[in-house]
């Protein structure tokens, strides 16, 4: 089997313990992954801390940091086919998606390369005539970046890129589910020429995660994952009082009004829930459709869902591949069955196909009148769409906001005034109007509630990895008066 290693302090290391990584398309092991211990994590964090203070990194100009990021961007672009093949093998994501996504990841590093010397301080018009006061933006320190298996090269880029642009150093922890792409990416970091310890990449289970998030030398924790793990991280951060930014997924409403372009909305909905086999934090998993068009729109979706090509993820013709893990498939099966038992109606899908691999078909459930259906309230992280009808705009808005999550949303309507009303009233960090799943390195994303806090992407992310230093400079040559002499 293939064998991967940790990248710590500028070198690749074997771990004392390893575990098998499973090919989701076959259910068979294909590679050995290193399993970080608490001692490995400590070594990585201390390496990052040394690098943060070392002139080899700390003494670089912001422009020089940008050049290193630009070099990394070029290497990612060159290695995109190799990285895509590894990600497809290790996670089951289809090759047509990993290829396109990783090629675009290079643009994120290019964006932050250009932004590195644009992070500015400010001069304050202070109310004291003999003082000059300004603000410096300085890197916060060592960053613990914890990344899930899905879209991991993208989700690491929106942490690594801004953190390095700001001058921080990092310890990146890949998920133990499908970590191979990030461990392979470490080779590109090494080739790019970053000083040892600036970027460290490892993987492992709960022991590694707890050791990383509670480490006294970690200043910022950037986490993408589920709310329950996030709660453990926030509790653990009480040990080091590290700043946290959390991107925790969602149960995003996809709202279709009766004046929408239904063909466009149907295509966007299919992409929003069945792309990446539904394993996306912004998946449009709650379809809210106006009652007057519900039957027509569901018929369109049913036809599109049943025409989706399910198959081996390494084939370019495949449109939906396997889920990443057997436990995820089993959980989806259980929650779909529970929803049907509570009264939801099966439109299509819902049955695991025979054969090897962790496959689950595109599934549509009409949950109108079944508000307690788990498929409607829980993030399933799979190709399952829950549908609810609504009568008017007020009901659509009430249904959209009836969730503890708040990451993404979609609105399909030809009415400009209605679109603006919905944009204002929907409680979500992202509102897509007549489109869905569009991203850019220029635009920040993030949510609130159980979808977390903080933003990734854009200038906002880079500023989040800085701290503000206030500088006071007295301009008068007169002696400072004796404070104990009354005048």
Asked whether residue 171 falls in the same domain as residue 294, the answer is no
C-alpha radius of gyration, the chain, whole number? 24
Predicted confidence at residue 463, as pLDDT, reads 97
Report the domain count for the chain.
Answer: 2
The two tokens of residue 401 are 């906001």
Predicted confidence at residue 487, as pLDDT, reads 66
Q: In whole angstroms, what is the distance from residue 464 CA to residue 462 CA?
A: 5
Q: Answer yes or no: is 295 within a domain.
A: yes
Looking up tokens 């993987």 gives 203
pLDDT by residue for the chain (487 residues), tens only, comes to: 899 999 999 999 999 999 999 999 999 999 999 999 999 999 999 999 999 999 999 999 999 999 999 999 999 999 999 999 999 999 999 999 999 999 999 999 999 999 999 999 999 999 999 999 999 999 999 999 999 999 999 999 999 999 999 999 999 999 999 999 999 999 999 999 999 999 999 998 889 999 999 999 999 999 999 999 999 999 999 999 999 999 998 999 999 999 999 999 999 999 999 999 999 999 999 999 999 999 999 999 999 999 999 999 999 999 999 999 999 999 999 999 999 999 999 999 999 999 999 999 999 999 999 999 999 999 999 999 999 999 999 999 999 999 999 999 999 999 999 999 999 999 999 999 999 999 999 999 999 999 999 999 999 999 999 999 999 999 999 999 898 987 6
Half-sphere exposure in the Cβ direction for 258 (13 Å, CA): 12
User: Could you count the other beta carbons within 10 Å of the beta carbon of residue 11?
Assistant: 12
> Residues for the chain: how many in total?
487
Q: Answer yes or no: is 464 within a domain.
A: no
Q: In whole angstroms, what is the distance from residue 145 CA to residue 222 CA?
A: 5
Asked whether residue 239 falls in the same domain as residue 260, the answer is no
Give the CATH number for residue 290: 3.40.309.10
Asked whether residue 231 falls in the same domain as residue 121, the answer is yes
Asked whether residue 240 falls in the same domain as residue 381, the answer is no
Which residues are identified as catalytic?
247
Asked whether residue 41 falls in the same domain as residue 171, the answer is yes
Q: In whole angstroms, what is the distance from residue 286 CA to residue 283 CA?
A: 9
Asked whether residue 319 falls in the same domain as residue 403, the answer is yes
Q: Answer yes or no: is 469 within a domain.
A: no
Q: Answer yes or no: is 177 within a domain.
A: yes
Q: Answer yes or no: is 449 within a domain.
A: no
The two tokens of residue 222 are 């950037």
Domain containing 401 equals: 253-433
Please report the DSSP string for 155-182 in residue order: HHHHHHHHHHHHT-EEEEEE-SSS-HHH
Tell me how far CA of residue 313 lies from CA of 1, 90, 333, 472, in angstroms. 20, 10, 21, 59
Q: Return the closest-CA partner of residue 151 out of 195, 108, 98.
A: 98
Asked whether residue 239 falls in the same domain as residue 278, the answer is no
Instruction: Report whether 457 contacts 444 (CB < 8 A).
Output: yes
Of 248, 266, 296, the one marking the end of a domain is 248
Q: Answer yes or no: is 438 within a domain.
A: no
- List the beta strands (DSSP E) in 293-369: 345-348, 363-366
Q: Is 474 exposed, middle or buried (0-12, 13-18, 19+ CB in 10 A)?
A: exposed
């Amino acid at each position: 089997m293939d064998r991967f290693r940790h990248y710590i302090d500028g070198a690749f290391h074997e771990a004392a313990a390893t575990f098998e990584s499973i090919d989701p398309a076959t259910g068979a092991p294909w590679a050995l992954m290193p399993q970080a211990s608490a001692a490995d994590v400590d070594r990585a964090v201390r390496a990052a801390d040394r690098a943060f203070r070392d002139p080899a990194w700390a003494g670089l100009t912001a422009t020089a940091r940008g050049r290193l990021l630009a070099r990394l961007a070029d290497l990612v672009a060159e290695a995109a086919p190799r990285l895509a093949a590894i990600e497809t093998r290790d996670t089951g994501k289809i090759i047509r998606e990993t290829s396109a996504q990783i090629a675009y990841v290079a643009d994120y590093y290019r964006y932050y390369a250009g932004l590195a010397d644009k992070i500015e301080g400010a001069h304050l018009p202070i109310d004291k005539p003999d003082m000059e006061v300004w603000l410096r933006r300085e890197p916060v320190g060592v960053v613990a970046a914890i990344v899930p298996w899905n879209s991991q090269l993208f989700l690491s880029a929106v942490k690594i890129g801004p953190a390095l642009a700001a001058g921080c150093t990092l310890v990146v922890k890949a998920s133990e589910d499908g970590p191979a792409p990030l461990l392979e990416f470490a080779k590109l970091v090494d080739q790019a020429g970053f000083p040892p310890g600036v970027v460290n990449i490892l993987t492992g289970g709960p022991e590694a995660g707890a050791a990383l998030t509670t480490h006294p030398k970690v200043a910022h924790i950037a986490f993408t994952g589920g709310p329950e793990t996030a709660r453990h991280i926030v509790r653990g951060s009480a040990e080091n009082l590290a700043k946290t930014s959390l991107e925790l997924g969602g149960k995003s409403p996809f709202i279709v009004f009766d004046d929408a372009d239904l063909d466009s909305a149907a295509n966007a909905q299919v992409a929003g829930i069945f792309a990446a086999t539904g394993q996306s934090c912004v998946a449009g998993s709650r379809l809210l459709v106006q009652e007057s068009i519900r039957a027509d729109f569901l018929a369109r979706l049913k036809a599109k869902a049943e025409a989706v090509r399910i198959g081996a993820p390494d084939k370019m013709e495949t449109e939906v591949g396997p889920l990443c893990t057997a436990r995820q498939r089993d959980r989806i099966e259980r929650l779909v069955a529970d929803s049907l038992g509570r009264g939801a109606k099966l439109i299509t899908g819902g049955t695991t196909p025979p054969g090897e691999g962790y496959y689950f078909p595109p599934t549509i459930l009409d949950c109108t009148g079944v508000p307690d259906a788990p498929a409607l309230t829980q993030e399933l992280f799979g190709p399952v769409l829950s549908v609810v009808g609504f009568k008017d705009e007020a009901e659509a808005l009430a249904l959209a906001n009836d969730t503890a999550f708040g990451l993404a949303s979609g609105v399909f309507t030809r009415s400009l005034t209605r679109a603006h009303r919905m944009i204002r009233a929907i409680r979500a960090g992202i509102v897509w109007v007549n489109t869905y799943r569009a991203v850019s390195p220029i635009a920040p994303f993030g949510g609130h509630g159980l979808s977390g806090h903080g933003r990734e992407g854009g200038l906002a992310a880079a500023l989040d990895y800085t701290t503000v230093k206030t500088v006071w400079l007295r301009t008068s040559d007169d002696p400072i008066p004796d404070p104990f002499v009354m005048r």
